């Protein structure tokens, strides 16, 4: 066996041992140091809370942004029905930005293009775009200007899948896939994709990314979505090679040096082909790790069961659930990006506005327990029915009271507490040290804790702010 081949075999086996899916991928694809990366992401780690906005043609059928795939709708049907009716005449980017800011959101990510392939900006690459509808304006431009004016960081969601482009290779999520999965086969997909030129699609995709990262000023986040993988049948899905992802990340960073990139280009075998992991629609049990190391993470969540506007979908989360989602995420060192799906008229609907108002009210009093906070230090465990966040700069702990304690909150680490107060009104919370002897009322008082009013204050989730002893 020649030396080159031997080296390749060794590399494969080592990386296989390390569990790498793609032994050919290097661990690092850029020369950025971990310290440089931390500095680039400092604002994102501090700000913790963002707004996702899923808006596109799919708001017209109003039954999920995947409606075209779920209902196997071809281009002719989809476009003839919905394009002529797409005119978000009530759209007001300033109102969107005002609502996001009031809710305490510090950054926003708008779908510039979702899987349906319809472009929300005035792209030169296709006429399948918003400026060719009755609406006629560059919505992305207005979004960028309005959210930047309110001081929010700017992000784009960009679908690397495109169910409209004639060269996008039909795969297991495409609207033109066989309706019966039992018909899936390499031969079938090869037949469906006859004449489709993937290189032509990839160039189109790259050209669009160039426009978005060149024509709209400083872009802080790009949210690529997503590599539909089918390892058992590679031709039924995509991999990082499909996007030329390593070069795409390098190119993205060249265009926007400070940009933060999500993890959906299928480069998880590298340490820097992504900046954060994206657990979606569930509460992470603990701070996510990759190869044994805690990594930056952002959970993306919807108010209801859909990203795009879905009129008849009723599983809308309650106010307390949403506050718990935000505070519990931060207590595990993560970010929350909360999604709004505007209606086809271009407005956030009443159900979304109600929940944004709930965040606004709670964040008005309690933002200090979110911004700049992270997981609590060793030994500071969350008392029952709560979660704790911690600001390392101020050395303060925040206890979020999900189950309101009736009069007393046992705190096992009371010896570390210097002072405590309610965050919403700054009122002192008394500290009750552990009793010297067994109290007749049972073991609750065996340890010290905080004396809370019997009645819950008028706050969705009350927060106790604690100064830790130095
Ligand atoms: C999932 C959904 C997609 C949505 C994304 C947001 O991939 O399929 O429609 O845009 O989540 O994270």
Q: Give me the mean pLDDT over the 425-430 stretch.
A: 98
Spacing, Cα 65 to ligand 1 middle (Å): 8
pTM beyond 0.85, yes or no: yes
Q: Please tell me if the CB atom of residue 226 comes closer than 6 angstroms to any atom of ligand 1.
A: yes
Count, residues in the chain? 470
Is residue 2's pLDDT more than 60?
no
The residues of the chain that CATH labels 3.20.20.80 are: 11-369
Helix (H) or strand (E) holding 248: helix 245-255
The confidence score (pLDDT) of residue 441 equals 57
Q: Please tell me if the CB atom of residue 260 comes closer than 6 angstroms to any atom of ligand 1.
A: no
Spacing, Cα 276 to ligand 1 middle (Å): 16
Q: Residues 421, 464: contact at Cβ < 8 Å?
A: yes
Q: Please state which architecture CATH assigns to domain 11-369.
A: Alpha-Beta Barrel (3.20)
Residues 194 and 102: their CA atoms lie apart, in Å, by: 51
Beta strand spans in 85-202 (E): 107-113, 153-159
The first and second tokens of residue 412, run together, are: 């096992």
- Give, for ligand 1, the residue of 277, 280, 313 to mutate: max count of ligand atoms closer than 8 Å to Cβ: 280
Q: Please tell me if the CB atom of residue 300 comes closer than 6 angstroms to any atom of ligand 1.
A: yes
Is residue 9's pLDDT more than 60?
no
Is residue 101's pLDDT more than 50?
yes
> Residue 114 CA: which ligand 1 atom is closest?
10
List the residue whose alpha carbon is closest to atom 8 of ligand 1: 66
Q: Please state which architecture CATH assigns to domain 386-468.
A: Sandwich (2.60)
Q: Residues 119, 129: contact at Cβ < 8 Å?
A: yes
Q: What are the pLDDT digits (tens) for 226-269?
A: 999 988 999 999 999 999 999 999 999 999 999 999 999 999 99
The confidence score (pLDDT) of residue 444 equals 53
Of 371, 292, 386, 384, give the one whose Cα is nearest residue 336.
371
The residues of the chain that CATH labels 2.60.40.1180 are: 386-468
Rounded to 5°, angle at Cα 115 from 197 and 103: 150
Spacing, Cα 114 to ligand 1 middle (Å): 9
> Residue 225 CA: which ligand 1 atom is closest?
7
Residues 432 and 427: their CA atoms lie apart, in Å, by: 16
Spacing, Cα 307 to ligand 1 middle (Å): 7
Is residue 440's pLDDT more than 80?
no
Spacing, Cα 111 to ligand 1 middle (Å): 10
Residues 141 and 219: their CA atoms lie apart, in Å, by: 12
The first and second tokens of residue 420, run together, are: 């405590």
Of 312, 65, 86, 265, give the one whose Cα is nearest residue 175.
65
Q: Please tell me if the CB atom of residue 279 comes closer than 6 angstroms to any atom of ligand 1.
A: no
> Residue 52 CA: which ligand 1 atom is closest?
6
> Residue 115 CA: which ligand 1 atom is closest?
9
> Residue 226 CA: which ligand 1 atom is closest?
7
- Averaged confidence pLDDT in the chain: 94
274, 165, 311, 61: CA torsion to nearest 10: 180
Q: Please tell me if the CB atom of residue 58 comes closer than 6 angstroms to any atom of ligand 1.
A: no
């Amino acid at each position: 066996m020649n030396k080159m081949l031997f080296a390749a075999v060794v590399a494969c086996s080592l990386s296989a041992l390390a569990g790498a899916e793609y032994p050919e991928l290097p661990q690092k694809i850029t020369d950025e140091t971990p310290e440089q990366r931390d500095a680039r992401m400092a604002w994102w780690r501090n700000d913790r809370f963002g707004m996702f906005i899923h808006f596109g043609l799919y708001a017209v059928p109003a039954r999920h942004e995947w409606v075209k795939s779920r209902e196997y709708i071809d281009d002719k049907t989809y476009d003839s029905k919905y394009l002529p009716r797409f005119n978000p005449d009530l759209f007001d980017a300033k109102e969107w930005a005002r609502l996001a800011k009031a809710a305490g959101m510090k950054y926003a990510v708008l779908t510039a293009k979702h899987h349906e392939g319809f472009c929300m900006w005035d792209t030169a690459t296709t006429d399948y775009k918003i400026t060719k509808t009755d609406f006629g304006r560059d919505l992305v431009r207005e979004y960028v200007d309005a959210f930047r004016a309110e001081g929010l960081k700017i992000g784009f969601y960009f679908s690397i899948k495109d169910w409209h482009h004639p060269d996008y290779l039909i795969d297991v999520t495409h609207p033109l896939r066989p309706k019966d999965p039992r018909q899936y086969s390499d031969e079938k997909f090869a037949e469906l994709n006859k004449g489709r030129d993937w290189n032509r699609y990839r160039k189109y995709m790259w050209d669009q990314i160039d426009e978005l990262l060149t024509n709209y000023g400083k872009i802080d986040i790009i949210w690529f979505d997503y590599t539909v993988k089918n390892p058992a049948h590679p031709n039924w899905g995509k991999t990082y090679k499909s996007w030329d992802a390593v070069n795409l990340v390098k190119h993205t960073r060249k265009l926007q040096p400070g940009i933060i990139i999500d993890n959906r280009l299928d480069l998880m075998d590298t340490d820097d082909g992504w900046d954060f992991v994206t657990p979606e629609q569930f509460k992470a049990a603990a701070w996510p790790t990759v190869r044994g190391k805690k990594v930056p993470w952002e959970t993306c969540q919807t108010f209801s069961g859909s990203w795009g506007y879905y009129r008849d979908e009723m599983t809308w989360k309650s106010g307390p659930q949403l506050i718990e989602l935000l505070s519990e995420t931060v207590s595990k060192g993560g970010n929350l990006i909360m999604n709004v799906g505007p209606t086809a008229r271009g407005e956030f609907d009443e159900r979304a506005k109600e929940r944004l108002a709930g965040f606004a009210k709670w964040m008005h009093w309690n933002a200090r327990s979110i911004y700049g906070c992270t997981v609590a230090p060793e030994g500071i465990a969350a008392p029952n029915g709560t979660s704790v966040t911690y600001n390392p700069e101020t050395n303060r702990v925040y206890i979020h009271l999900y189950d309101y304690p009736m009069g007393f909150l046992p705190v096992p680490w009371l010896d570390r507490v210097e002072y405590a107060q309610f965050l919403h009104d700054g009122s002192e919370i008394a500290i009750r040290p552990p009793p010297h002897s067994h109290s007749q009322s049972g073991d609750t008082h065996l340890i010290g804790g905080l004396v809370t009013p019997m009645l819950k204050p008028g706050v969705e989730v009350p927060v106790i702010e604690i100064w830790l002893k130095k």
